[in-house]
Amino acid sequence: MAQIGKAVIAGGGVGGLTLALALTRAGVEVEVHEKYDHLQSRRSGFTIWSYAIRHLLDLGVDGDRLAQEGSAIERTEIRSRHGRLIESLPVGEASRRLGAPTYDIQRAGLQAALIEALPDGVLRLGSEVVGVEQDGDSATLLLAGGGRASGDVAIGCDGAHSVLRDLVTRHEHAFHYSGFGGWSAVIPFTHELLPARHHVEIWEKGSKGGVADVGGGSARWYALHRAPEADKDKPVVKDEILAHVEGWYELLPAAIETTPVEQIVRTAPGDMDPLTSWVDGRIALLGDAAHATTPFAAMGACMTIEDAATLAPLLVARPYAEAFAEYQETRKRNADAVVKHGRTMGHVSQLKNGFALWLRDEFLAHVPDNQLEQIATDMASGR
């Protein structure tokens, strides 16, 4: 029998939905409160590595449904601005050894697959969490409009700008802009330079971009560059993006040229320094609420899934205080290390110094195949 009867969750993103699925399968009553009344309309995507896909499959998410919303990666290529192949990682081979594919997948599609696996009534769309309270017996989410949702525990899965985090951390956190802004989109797109099941990343001086197959004749693209934080509030101008990638490997400019401007999402990635604690009494944080990170380590969504897969069985098997303590002990050190690694990778992939850039590319171009296989395996397994 589960140690808790009910959990209330703030945030209906990947983390909140994965945790809800894991808990409901164990017989726990769950409410997920998501402030938006719909799944996001602007299309975006990310990489979900094999180890995180394995968790989703184990929780009953339909593998065929995932395949409809993404594409299993066979190769991840890193190329220079002019298209020179610097490195090719055998992601598909590594993932098959681990027993689950690695996907480039659409965010809204993954959310839809998780929602379909949940019982009716668990997800409450258009229900914004504006605060949280707790006493000796329960934790209560305070909802916009005066509503309340109570459970034995409350979990903050409400992202990098979490409402619940303020109570847990006593406002100790600070969200740091990475110094890199950019743009991204998911569009109907095929190209002779983008083989099926490939993710092509392009590294340039002080900048990077990429295009990845997400299946069904669609691809996601992204471009990042050093930019002031104020740029995040500027309107998207496609000519500005095309000017930035002028002369780059033609795959990326072709994808951008095809994209309607209203489908382009402006991005301003950032992260947080490690928090002292993810837990306060009956409240715990999960995903970006606990350890917001930049996309440069390509692990943000995967860490969120890993958090949920770790926390749920502990809440089922242990009193909540013990479960929260072990969850933090199990996950925090690794998550903090990934945040640090993301900062490092952001600078490595977008070096400004020409000589340092040349040394990096020459080093990566001569990595032996067995080491490339190990790199792919480490990433696919979340190490």
pLDDT truncated to tens, each residue of the chain (383 aa)? 567 899 999 999 999 999 999 999 999 999 999 998 877 656 788 899 999 999 999 999 999 999 999 999 999 999 988 899 988 999 999 999 999 999 999 988 999 999 999 999 999 999 999 999 999 899 999 999 899 999 999 999 998 888 898 888 876 666 777 778 889 999 999 999 999 999 999 988 778 899 999 999 999 999 988 888 878 888 899 999 999 999 999 999 999 999 999 999 998 777 778 888 999 999 999 998 988 776 665 577 898 999 999 999 999 999 999 999 999 999 988 888 877 766 666 555 555 555 555 556 555 665 667 777 787 788 888 77
pLDDT at position 213, please?
A: 96
**Residue 151 belongs to what H/E stretch?**
strand 148-151
Q: What is the DSSP string of 28-74?
A: -EEEEEESSSS--SS--EEEE-HHHHHHHHHTT--HHHHHHHEEE-S
Asked whether the beta carbons of 46 and 300 are under 8 A apart, the reply is: yes
Give the fold, CATH level 3, of 1-37+126-176+272-352.
FAD/NAD(P)-binding domain (3.50.50)
Burial of 145 (0-12, 13-18, 19+ CB in 10 A): exposed
Query: Residue ranges of the domains in the chain?
Result: 1-37+126-176+272-352, 42-117+179-268+353-383
CB atoms within 10 A of CB 375: 17
Closest CA to 347 of 291, 296, 383: 296
CA distance 378 to 295: 17
Fold agreement (1-37+126-176+272-352, 42-117+179-268+353-383):
no
Q: Please say whether the beta carbons of 110 and 15 come within 8 A.
A: no
Cα atoms found within 13 Å of the Cα of residue 47, Cβ hemisphere only: 30
Coil/strand/helix, residue 287: coil
CB atoms within 10 A of CB 119: 12
Q: Whole-angstrom Cα distance, residue 304 to residue 246? A: 36
Rounded (to 5) percent helix, strand, coil in the chain: 40, 25, 35
pTM over 0.75: yes
CA distance to 8, 77, 176, 195, 296, per residue, from 343 (Å) = 33, 21, 11, 30, 7
CATH of domain 42-117+179-268+353-383: 3.30.9.30
Cβ distance 53 to 86 under 8 Å? no
Strand-pair category, 207-215 with 218-226: antiparallel
